[in-house]
Amino acid sequence: YCLPPGTSNCVVFLTDTLGVFGNRSSVMEIVQARNGRAENLISSPGLLKLLQDTPARAAIWGVATGPGMVDWFQGWAPARESFNMDWPHALKGVESLRYTVIADQNMQLDVSLDCTTTEAAATLKLAFQGLKFLQQYAWQQHNPNRLNPLQSLAVETDSKRLSLKLATPFNTIEDSNLFQLAPPTK
């Protein structure tokens, strides 16, 4: 299923509790590998290494390389229409992306971007800090008196790795649409 029809965001449910999502070609590759008609993760040491740090309690997790990283940010970044970010350019110094979502008392998102150099990580950190500032400003303009679900987003670097960490209570996201800054029109 591609949501909405004609977009690059697709999902396939493999079992009652396991699904995969991404662009159409990536999802089809996973289905083919699962059916034994293509290489699977075991044949990719790079992807296996990315998965080693995935917490066992992560309800949702994923990895991406190459164009898959751009697809991930273009499809899921909050308020993507408002900021017109050039994701292919911004991510040109990134080798891989890993993300996990853990749902307990809070919704916890952890995104790690492995960059080619420490300079690329530092530059990307500045870009994400700028996006965070713009998002917070726009949120307050359009949603006064509402807690911003992205308020606690931490943007950190450690050598060539950029980390985006967010822990937010469920009640801040239950009634909000993170992909829209302005309140819904009636």
Model pLDDT for residues 83-130, shown as the tens digit of each residue: 677 888 989 999 999 999 988 888 899 999 999 999 999 999 999 999
Name the residue with higher pLDDT: 37 or 78: 37
CA distance 90 to 70: 9
The whole-model pTM stands at 0.76
Residue 179: pLDDT over 50: no
Span 151-168, mean pLDDT? 94
Q: Sorting pLDDT into bands at 50, 70 and 90, what band is 27?
A: confident
The stretch 56-79 carries a mean pLDDT of: 76
For the ranges 29-43, 109-123, 128-142, 154-168, the lowest mean pLDDT is seen at 29-43
For residue 22, is it left (φ>0), alpha (ψ between -120 and 50) or beta? left
Q: Which of 57-61, 65-69, 75-79 ranks highest by mean pLDDT?
A: 57-61
